[in-house]
Every structure is written in structure tokens, then in C-alpha cells.
A and B are shown apart, each in its own frame.
Chain A
Amino acid sequence: MENKTFTISVYSENNVGLLNRISGIFLKRHINILSLNVSESEIETVSRFIIVVDTTEKWVQNIVGQIEKQIEVIKAFYHVDEETIFLENALFKIESSLLFDERQIQNIIKESNSEIVTVARDFFVISKSGKRSEIEELYSKLKPYGIMQFVRSGRISISKEKMEISALLEELKQN
């Protein structure tokens, strides 16, 4: 079986220690987590993990089964890229003088659909949301001018299909 990128979504209670429990499931199988994001979900008190891994479908099934087995996990799913809307966020910190000295930078910002989130005396910050490839493209365009700091978030994703968890979550919402 060939390796593929899978996005694992986990709906869980918001409890101390659960992250450790979930990451341990990957550790035990010697699988590297490519990206991890934890946030609130559409339901108050329910957290949502988005975990991206590169592995086989057999392993991802096994892992999702083990994740779902954890007491505080409500439900876990996995998807391939085609089944989800996903993006990442990146921030670029650039020297302020460049914004005025290098006209080209303004074009790069415009063309890449990124935005300037702050401008200070010494630096400004560009924010870019999108696919990994778009962020990488912007990175390579800005690099020649000098990037003072760069950071990219984990993947966030939403499934195209309605998740079978919706009814269950609706129930939790009402309780």
C-alpha cells in the first residue's frame, strides 16, 4: 500500500492530557505528525484536532480506530485532500524600508492575495492563507529581499461532505 497524505479530524472533550494520549498513538507506531492544530469546534466545550500524516490507508484506519477508542474522544475521521477544504496560515516579517524601496514587494503582496497585517517603524508583517504550495511560492518570492521571521501554522480543514458526527454534536449542543 502506498503512502498518502491524510487529514485526521478528532472531536474530543477539552481535557488536560488528551493531546499526550493522542500523540502517543502516533509515537507508538513510529509515525511522524506533519502538522497538528487544536481549536474549538462548532460545539462549545468540544475541541477539534486536525492532524496531518503521511502514511498508508491501513495505518490511518488503525490509528483512527485507536484514537476513537480513547475515552474523551467523541469521534475521529480521516480524509484525503480531495475530500476537504484545507489551508494553512503563514506570517512573514519583513524590514519596513523594503516596502517603500522595493516597489516589487507591493506587487508580490497583491498578486499572492496576501495582506499586510501590521506596519511598524522597523518591520511589517504579511499574512498569507492558502495551500502549502501558495505559501511556499510566496516564500520563495520574498526570500531574495530578506525575511526577518517566518512561521506557518498547521493545516486547518473542513470536510466537503456532511460528517456523520453532526447529529451527535447537535445532541451535545442541546444538553
Chain B
Amino acid sequence: METNKISGAEAVIRCLLAEGVDLVYGYPGGAIMPVYDELYKFKDELHHVLVRHEQGATHAAQGFARATGKVGVAIATSGPGATNLVTGIADAQIDSTPMVCITGQVGKHLLGSDAFQETDIIGISTPVTKWNYQITEASEIPEIMAKAFYIARSGRPGPVLVDITKNAQFDLLDFSYEKCTAIRSYVAVPKLKLKKVEEAAAIINNAKKPLIVFGQGIILGKAEELFKAFVEKTGIPAAWTILGLSALPTDHPLNVGMLGMHGNYAPNIMTNECDVLIALGMRFDDRVTGNLETYAKQAKVIHFDIDPAEIDKNVKTEVAVLGDVKESLEAILPLIANKSHDDWHTKFKELYKIECEKVINEELAPTNGKGISMGETIEMINKHSKGDAIMVSDVGQHQMFTCRYSKFNQSKSNVTSGGLGTMGFALPAAIGAKMGMPDREVVAIIGDGGFQMTIQELGTIFQTKVPVKIVVLNNEFLGMVRQWQELFFDRRYASTEMTNPNFTAIAEGYYIKAKKVTKREDLDAAVAEMLASKESYFLEVMVEKENNVFPMIPTGASVSDIRLS
């Protein structure tokens, strides 16, 4: 009478299906083979993408999650398979990306025996996961998988790792699945206090020079429309962190640009001029605040967030509104007055004009006789994509140019490694983003350094035929480090110059259509051809070697000490 029994491995697949997962990224190996055997049987319902390195599986799962808002899933074997996931898990943790990683583990009887490919992935992943758990009995699988998905996606999202011993994959269990909706020790969303909302509204209504700073919380909380309504009703200039980018359309008249180290001139200067600073779904990262001792000291700070641990962590708040941002915005909207703050906006416009004259105009249309700039390449992509593409950037100078200059019409369109700054992120993340949003154009912008960190994922692109567009901005340098060496280390270019291989030949070796642009006059046609391609396309753009990203707030300096050159 044991006909209802299935194997632990099959249970894993059934749990994934029950959570609505139809796409996973992974790499097989000894300790996860029972699960792969079931993946084979379930291949019509659950698509598995074989990456070329487990790190690629995590970044692809992240790209998928960031572009779709759903939970990304990565699967790996024990030992090196599991440890190769760690960078992506850390990235997802610091950028609050919902992800479930499943790792195989040696059999329960071998735990702690230094068995082949045994590694303590629970111990290793603990500091970089929202939650993790080692399953050693098949019967635990449904409940733990349900918890894993609930924890990954609820509240402030994050990565969860479930490590499953091989015996638990083989053993049989009576399977029944019930979605997790609550855990007694875990408050996913703090209860909104109306009193706090009223206090916040009163301060906002009395503000003379208010500034909104917003982060990814708007996107994660699916509150873009309400946020736009809030910005429009209050008439307050709104500036974004790089993870908040695309939550408000680029050309929205109240969008005043990017905060922080390489952000726009006006919002950084005005942070130290405003009387009220309204932060929504952001965490005052040091790259945003510069020196905390001189950050917005004159302002009353109102902080809307879902995570109580973020309140007063870096910046002392006058009023903290804890809760789901959608709910908070719904509550505050009727309480706030219609305003326009015209004089205050004029100051932003004046500063923007200065930034255009000193930085932006030259970057987007160089007249100095130098080679192609990164900014003008992004501008060319804007011209052809019309701001409808998902831009996936890697880490470095090109990332800052991508975030500063890309045009976005819709949310969840900027996928980048913000908090961890993981070089090698973009290529696999673009694969995930494109598979998650197949109807949208996905363009990866990568430096010549980062491209070589996960270059093997060209193999995944070739095998799956996922039509991502890859742009390598090649300055033959690790550009951002070189910029710091130029500015702060007396131009001692220690190990930042790169002798690169023939990238287009490598792409062609993977049967990906490739082109290299070295002259400005060829850029327009090449970008047009790339975006018109129905298949994946690799475009290498040779850019000016020693350009710098400006504006810049040097490390430890105040946001108002932002430099234009």
C-alpha cells in the first residue's frame, strides 16, 4: 500500500513545480545526480539550463529574478559545485534578490567524514544567505522547500540555500505539498503604523526643500505606479540609487538622476541642502552617502523601509515608516498636499546644466578628437532601443556609464550587481533576464575585464540559442581601478593593463555573430545591426583607453564635495 511514495529527488522537482518554477539553472555532479535523473523525466515541465560554471547559474538565476520579480533557482552538486555558488549567493544577499539554491550533499552517513566532494556549504553560506537548511531525511523535503520559497520571496527578499544529502534524494516519502505562508519566528512585513505615516505626511507637507531618494524597494514592492503618484502629487525631485534605477522612467520630469559616487551633480549637492530627505526602499549604502558625518545633517530624514534593521543603521531618522512600501504609499497619498516646489526645482536644473557643460555633453558627443566614449555607445543604444531594452551591466566604469546614461521607460529594466560589485555578473545575468522576459530586448554591457571572468557562458548562449545582445566596451584596461590609480595612486598602473585576446574570434568560435567597431562612424550601423538581429550578437567596441567617469565623490568625501573633473 505504498503506491503514493515517491523519491526525495522527485519530491524536489514536484516542489519546484508547485512553486510555479519552470526554469532552473544548474550543473550536475555526483551528489545531485538523483535530482538530475528526475529533471530528465520532467524535462517537458521544468526546463533546466546547463551553464558552464556554477557561478553562472547563480547570476543567471539572479538576472531572471531581477527582470521578472520571480524567484530564481540554481542547482549544483556538493563540494566545488556548491562553493562555486557562493559569489552569486553573496551578490543576491546584498542586493535582496529572491533566489533558491539547491545543492547536493554526500550521504548522511558520510557527513563530517571528509568524504569525496564533501564541503560544509551550510557553514560557508550562512553569512551570505537569508536562510539555509540541510535536509538529511526525504520526509523533510516538502516542508523545507516550501519554507525556502516563502523566505526567499517574502519581506525583504534574499537567497536561500537548501542542501540535500544524497540519501534524502534516493529515499522515499509520502508526498504532499502545502505552500508556506507564515513562520512563527519571522515577521516578513512589519505592521504599518498609521501614526508614523501621519508624522511623515506632516513633515513632508511642511517641507520647503524636500528631496526623495529611492531604491530597489520600490521595484521589489511592486509599487512603481503608487510611487510615481506620490512623486507627482508632492512635486518633490526624486533621485535614485543604482538598484532603484528604472522604477521611475528616466525622462519623468521629477526624476533628477542618480545618487552617490558617480551619480548626478544636482541630487548629490542638494542632499546637503534639502530640509527633508525622504528615503524609500533604500539603505544608505556608503557609495550613496559618502562621508556619513557630513551627510544630510541639515535635513529631517524620513525612512520608508520593510527591514527594521535598516532604520538608523547608517543615517539617523526623524520618522521611520516600517512596512510594505505599497501599503505605506497608499496610506500616505491621501494625507499629502499637492505641491510643485518650482523654485527648488530651478536649482536642480541649474546644477544639471553645469553637469551637462562640464561632463555630459562631451561624454555623449565627444569633440575632443579622442576615440569612442562609453557614454556615446550607451547613447547610441538608447537611440535604437528607444529605452525599451533591459540593460544588464557588469562592474566598473562601463557600469557607471550604463546606469548614468541608459534610458528606461519601464521598471525592472536595469540589472546590475550593485552592493557586491561582482565582475563577471552581466553575461550570465543577461541570459537569465532574456529567458525570463523573452519578448524584451536584453543588452549586456560588459568591460573587457569582467567579460573574461565568466566568458565561458558564451557556451550556454550558443547551446540554448538565447538571443542576448552582448556589448563589450574594450579599453584594454581594468578601467575603474585604473581611474583610481590615476587619481589617487599617482598613475601607478599596477596590474590594470590588459592584453586581450581576439574577442570576436572567441564569440565566433561559439558560433555567435560578432562584430568589432573601432571607428565612431561605424558605431551607429553596428548598434542598429545588433539590435535588429533575431539571434544573439556580440559587439566589441574599442573605446578611448584612459577616459574617466565623472562626476565623482572621492572615498570618504562628502556628497557635496562631488567633483566634475
Contacts and interface: CB of A to CB of B under 8 A. Distances in A.
Do A and B share a complex?
A: yes
Interface string A66-89: 101101111000000000000000
B80 interface: no
Nearest to B183: A71
Determine the main DSSP class of A at the interface with B.
helix
A12 interface: yes
A-side interface size class: 20 to 34
B307 interface: yes
Contacts of B311: 65
A24 B126 contact: yes
A172 B183 CA distance: 12
Contacts, number: 43
A160 interface: no
B109 interface: no
B509 interface: no
Given A28-B127, A71-B131, A13 B185 contact: yes
Contact of B309 (A20, A24, A65, A71): A65
A61 interface: yes
Contact of A20 (B126, B185, B186): B126
B313 A65 contact: yes
B185 A69 contact: no
A20 B132 CA distance: 12
B312 interface: yes
A2 to B, nearest CB: 18
A157 B126 CA distance: 28
A71 B185 contact: yes
A72 B309 contact: no
Given A12-B185, A71-B151, A21 B126 contact: yes
A148 B127 CA distance: 40
Contact of B185 (A16, A66, A72, A175): A72
Contacts of B151: 71
A17 B131 CA distance: 10
Interface string A32-65: 0000000000000000000000000000011001
Nearest to A65: B309
B184 interface: yes
Determine the main DSSP class of B at the interface with A.
mixed
B186 A71 contact: yes
Interface in B293-321: 307-309, 311-313
B320 to A, nearest CB: 12
Contacts of A65: 308-309, 311, 313
Interface string A8-34: 000011001100110010011000000
B501 interface: no
Nearest to A168: B184
Contacts of B183: 71
A13 B134 CA distance: 16
Contacts of A66: 309
A74 to B, nearest CB: 4
B334 interface: no
B123 A20 contact: yes
A71 B130 contact: yes
B132 A24 contact: no
A66 to B, nearest CB: 5
Nearest to B160: A71
B506 interface: no
B557 interface: no
A69 B126 contact: no
A17 B122 contact: yes
B315 to A, nearest CB: 12
Given A65-B308, A68-B308, A17 B184 contact: no
Nearest to A21: B126
Contacts of A28: 127
Most chain B CB within a 10 A radius of its CB, from A24, A27, A175: A24
Nearest to A73: B185
Contacts of B313: 62, 65
A69 B127 contact: no
B132 A17 contact: yes
Given A24-B126, A172-B184, A69 B312 contact: no
Nearest to B187: A68
A61 B312 contact: yes
Contacts of A172: 184
B271 to A, nearest CB: 22
Nearest to A25: B127
B184 A24 contact: no
A73 B313 CA distance: 19
Nearest to B186: A71
Nearest to B308: A65
Interface of B: 122-123, 126-127, 130-134, 151, 183-186, 307-309, 311-313
The 4 nearest A-B residue pairs measured at CB: A65-B309, A74-B185, A71-B131, A24-B127
Given A17-B134, A20-B126, A65-B309, 12 more contacts: A16-B134, A17-B132, A21-B127, A27-B127, A28-B127, A61-B312, A62-B309, A65-B313, A66-B309, A69-B307, A72-B186, A74-B185
Interface of A: 12-13, 16-17, 20-21, 24, 27-28, 61-62, 65-66, 68-69, 71-74, 172, 175
21 contacts: A12-B185, A17-B122, A17-B126, A20-B123, A20-B126, A21-B127, A24-B126, A28-B127, A61-B312, A62-B313, A68-B308, A68-B309, A69-B307, A69-B308, A69-B309, A71-B183, A71-B186, A72-B131, A74-B184, A172-B184, A175-B184
